[in-house]
Amino acid sequence: MKKLNILLFAIFFIGSNYAQELTTVLPEEGFIGQQLQLTITGQQTNFSQGSNTIWLNQGSATVIYPQSIQSISDEEIKADFFFYSWYQDGVYNVNVENQTDGHMILGESFYLWPDPNASSLTDVNPDHAYSGETISLTISGQNTSFNQGSNIIFFYQGSSTIYPNSYQSINNETIEAEFTFDYEHPCGIYDIGVNNILDGNMQLHQAFELIDPAPVPGSDFYLWEVEENTPSNTELFTIEAEDNSPVLRFEIVEGNEENRFVLGEYDGIFKIAPNAILDYEELTDHQMKVWIYDDIQHTAVDVLIKIINLNDIVPTLMDATLELMENSVNGTEVGQLDVFDADGDINNFDFSIEYQSLENTFSIGSSTGIITVADSTLLNYEINTSGDLVITVSDGLFTDTKTYTVNILDLDEVGINEEFDKLFNIYPNPVKDVFFIEKSFEDPVTVDILDVNGKVLESLIISDSKTRIRSLAKQSSGIYFLRLIKDNKHLLKKIVLE
């Protein structure tokens, strides 16, 4: 018995010294960009006996340390983490180390998810430049923090990186930066990078183009921009030659499509040709080659004339199928109108309703072209199967007007109104001047009297079990409708006025 007791004691002693382990971490997941407190629990641990080192690791590539640690008890410890944007998402091990317990690992116990509101770059404007230019660029972002500290901005293409001369944070989502694109910078497509401590390293891939050749007047290349529809015979620029020869001649030898430009043979003045029309929609760039002659040889000069797009074409409203169910509630979206504009995306459009046969039933978003229900009163298939809309769109200079038909679809209301119908008795029908409405319940009911076009002639609230109506006494003979409404139930009854 004595030997058994000694053996049990030894087993207990060994177990109590070597059973330290981590058991849980809560929460078990978090998001990049989040401030989060993790609660780590252990078994047979000694968290409160001294200092602890805590970290999360994902192999040897990513190690995350907390900002602060608090020992709650020997078996519970809390750690405050901030998961910066440059951390790698994925599964992590939880590590705790102290002098008493040694190094304990809770493997693959915490998952770090990507930031659902991650910072990102969205746009750069302009999106191109020419070698030799110094230009100001606007870089836009989403959920970014440009204004919260310093930013590192750069364009990169392989091993070539271009940094700005200066930049200014306009707000958290807009930066303006000035770049000089030297001739030694390789031409082609560049990615854009912006880095700061809150957003991390953001990239906008294939967002900017550096174009060759360099637009340097007086050299072997000339760049000129001119608005479309500029009058013919307008002088654009003069080609200069570094040549002391007293006799020089200039000639366009290549690329002058339809002879839209003329070049002074002896003065080098580039003009728009007589009767020539510069149309952006037809051709945006005119690239030509010019020879400069002296008595012995000639020099080739490249010319690129870029046409600036203007608002000069009438927008066109496109066809659309518009329909909705009868009794649709206010705010229901009917459809969105599309516009074709050969001017491209330089214009903003303004939509308006000029006329609608179902008065005040529809409205249209002035900037979106989305048609919605404004007043559902007349959306009753038994009265109106359709309604016409006359829509106008304007681009600020030109307008287009088009008539659309909104089809009202029939809703099977028999099952809904059958029981409701039994609660009323309307007589006589046909009517000469007076009719009666009897109802078999005490609550008030709304009664709308409508003409055949769905226009409400009169709206009444009746409470008595029997009500005498004279509303049609002064109306012309024909078909009318009674719409009875109670607790979102609608009943439509046709009556004939003799």
Write the pLDDT tens digit of every residue in 266-281.
Answer: 888 999 999 999 999 8
For 377-386, 412-421, 476-485, which range has the lowest pLDDT when averaged over its residues?
A: 412-421
Count Cβ atoms within 10 A of the Cβ of residue 36 and give its class: 0-12 exposed, 13-18 middle, 19 or more buried: middle
Element containing residue 360 per DSSP (H, E): none
Token couple for 80: 């405050």
Residue 29 reports pLDDT greater than 60: yes
Rounded percentage of the chain residues whose pLDDT exceeds 90: 48
Higher pLDDT, 43 or 458: 43
pLDDT band for position 46 (50/70/90)? very high
Residue 356 φ/ψ, nearest 5 degrees: -145, 135
Please tell me the distance from the alpha carbon of residue 417 to that of residue 214, in angstroms, as a whole number: 77
Peptide bond between residue 126 and the one before it cis (omega within 30 degrees of 0): yes
Q: In the CATH hierarchy, which fold is given to the domain comprising 316-409? A: Immunoglobulin-like (2.60.40)
Residue 67 φ/ψ, nearest 5 degrees: -80, -30
Token couple for 484: 């009875």
Element containing residue 359 per DSSP (H, E): none
pLDDT 10s digits, 56-83: 998 776 799 999 999 999 999 999 999 8
| Residues paired with residue 70 on neighbouring β-strands, in sequence order | 78
Token couple for 3: 């030997």
CATH class of 414-497: mainly beta
| Residues paired with residue 392 on neighbouring β-strands, in sequence order | 352, 401
Residue 15 φ/ψ, nearest 5 degrees: -60, -40
Residue 145 reports pLDDT greater than 70: yes
SS3 78: strand
Please tell me the distance from the alpha carbon of residue 478 to that of residue 496, in angstroms, as a whole number: 6
| Residues paired with residue 356 on neighbouring β-strands, in sequence order | 389
Rounded percentage of the chain residues whose pLDDT exceeds 70: 90
Q: In the CATH hierarchy, which fold is given to the domain comprising 120-211? A: Immunoglobulin-like (2.60.40)
Residue 156 reports pLDDT greater than 50: yes
pLDDT band for position 4 (50/70/90)? very low
Residue 439 reports pLDDT greater than 50: yes
On the question of a common fold for 2-113 and 414-497, the answer reads yes
> Average model confidence (pLDDT) for the chain?
86
pLDDT band for position 212 (50/70/90)? low
The residues spanned by each domain of the chain are: 2-113, 120-211, 222-308, 316-409, 414-497
Token couple for 439: 């109802």
Nearest CA among 238, 237, 268 for reference residue 251:
268
Q: Do the Cβ atoms of 177 and 153 come closer than 8 Å?
A: yes
- Quote the pLDDT of residue 247: 64
- Quote the pLDDT of residue 411: 62
Peptide bond between residue 215 and the one before it cis (omega within 30 degrees of 0): no
How many other C-beta atoms are found inside a 10 Å radius of the C-beta of residue 428?
12
For 12-21, 111-120, 311-320, which range has the lowest pLDDT when averaged over its residues?
A: 12-21
- Quote the pLDDT of residue 368: 92
Those residues whose C-beta lies under 8 Å from the C-beta of residue 56, and which sit 6 or more positions away, are 63, 64, 81, 92, 93, 94, 95, 110, 112
- Quote the pLDDT of residue 477: 87
Most confident of 132-141, 452-461, 468-477: 132-141
Instruction: Pick left, alpha or beta for residue 9 (phi over 0 → left; psi -120 to 50 → alpha; otherwise beta).
Output: alpha
Token couple for 248: 């020089």
Q: In the CATH hierarchy, which fold is given to the domain comprising 222-308? A: Immunoglobulin-like (2.60.40)
CATH 2.60.40.10 fits 2-113, yes or no: yes
